[in-house]
Amino acid sequence: MNKLNILIVGDVMLDRYWHGNTSRISPEAPVPVVHVRKTEYKPGGAANVALNVTALGVRSAVVGLVGKDESAERLRKSLAESDIKDCLIEQDDAVTITKSRVISKHQQLIRLDEEDDIGSFDHAPLLAVVEEQLQSASVMILSDYNKGAIGPVLQPLIQLAKKRQVPVLVDPKTDDFSVYSGATLLTPNMSEFEAAAGKCSDENDMIEKAAKLIEQCDLQAMLITRSEKGMSLVRDKNTVMHLPAQVRDVFDVTGAGDTVIAVLATMLAQGNDLEAAARAANVAAGIVVGKLGAASVSYQELSRAMQVKPGDVHTESSVVSETELLSSVGDAKARGERIIMTNGCFDILHAGHVRYLQQARNMGDKLIVAVNDDDSVKRFKGDSRPVNTLANRMQLLAALEMVDWVVAFSEDTPERLICSVLPDKLVKGGDYQPKEIAGYDCVTASGGEVIVLDYHEGLSTSNMIQAIIEKSAT
């Protein structure tokens, strides 16, 4: 994967986020007053596509036009931090496109845009940089936001890629698809498609219109994203693949198109066909709409999700690494979900565990179970334990409907892990005092709660093992 190179050319932007609390209305006008606590800067537009590519473990380079201003400096810094190759071209008197959003309690209150027409600037330097970067590119993405960075030179860009036999994927914004003639694939959403092809009376009409545009524009295919109806990959009127939408809670569709085209490019760069690439992109779209803002999908997330069969509730995909857990928990907290966490050996899963975990899950929206690895169980329980290996214990826990994530830890206590997660409620079974429980200090300091649940009488792993030994002896 890290040997692949994907070139993204298009309208780059800087996304600025002001986060703060809102508790009163301004006396000057009927608007909320936001006390800004944090400012974030992220690559936007075509640069966000590059961010999505990098998240998949693939090297990316982004080419676009910016001004000689503070926003350009911040964008360049953000690209460097994300390990994206910076091929931005500065133009005198240009304004770097910047979108500033004011966010309070996960709600966007207002967006302020700074931009200027950059279509009139000299595009010769851009074409020269693209020609150079195509020498090592596996796929080229044209990310057209109709801001002028590539509009005047779309055909020269496509011809440069065709000369190098580099596939060209386009996320179109104009209603005239003929300007993308010769590209490999277009990825319009339904409204963009109908703006170019005309209103579709039904699915068959959509296919007919898509096939006609593909022929007229000398394309290989078109992937139409259709919201709750999923996606349709059309090669011609007789070669169509419909992909149903992945059933997930939709939280934010921002940037989903960037994720789709990034996954398509990555899959094609690996040598997959368009059908396989479209299937992966469809799964990725289902993941990213469950996240806040212009998010991305990691290779690990996509790989796990691709293994889940339709109808599966919980599978081994619930077993996560610490890095994956922290990423998922961050997304869940951004959605306002309450995180519950517990831990233990869970050597032999029994009815007491199931009742206890169900009680814990009922306290919130997501339940994390942290599990002692085999070495820490031995230190805690003795050389004869565990009876079941870590992999088997985690798989059984992941199969329980009430468990959302299962993660392993190797220390004697999960305190470090708990303090990284900072759950809303930390739950433990037994006769502990809350202050005795590992993680109590950091959880309560962050506003969380530590709760002790009663064990169910007569149900314990140690008692079960002893009973088995006694029965085998007789």
Pairing state of beta strands 85-91 and 98-104?
unpaired
Going edge to edge, which strands form the sheet with 12-25? 32-45, 12-25, 98-104, 107-114
Both tokens of 173, joined, read 């914004």
**Contact indicator for 405, 315 with CB cutoff of 8 Å:** no
The b-or-e profile of 72-83 (16+ CB within 10 A means b, else e) is bebbbebbeebe
Catalytic residue among 11, 171, 258, 424: 258
- The total number of residues shown for the chain amounts to 474
> For residue 281, what is the enclosing H or E element?
helix 274-288
**Contact indicator for 414, 343 with CB cutoff of 8 Å:** yes
Question: Is 258 marked active-site?
Answer: yes
**Contact indicator for 405, 325 with CB cutoff of 8 Å:** yes
Q: Of 427, 316, 307, give the one whose Cα is nearest residue 363.
A: 427
Q: Of 324, 326, 306, 328, give the one whose Cα is nearest residue 315.
A: 306
Phi-psi region at 136: left, alpha or beta (left = phi > 0; alpha = psi -120 to 50)? alpha
Q: Of 187, 370, 364, 363, give the one whose Cα is nearest residue 263.
A: 187
Q: Of 291, 232, 302, give the one whose Cα is nearest residue 267.
A: 302
> Cis omega before residue 423 (within 30°)?
no
Query: How many other C-beta atoms lie within 10 A of the C-beta of residue 362?
Result: 10
CA 275 to chain centroid: 21
CA dist 29 and 273 (Å) reads 56
Catalytic residues: 258
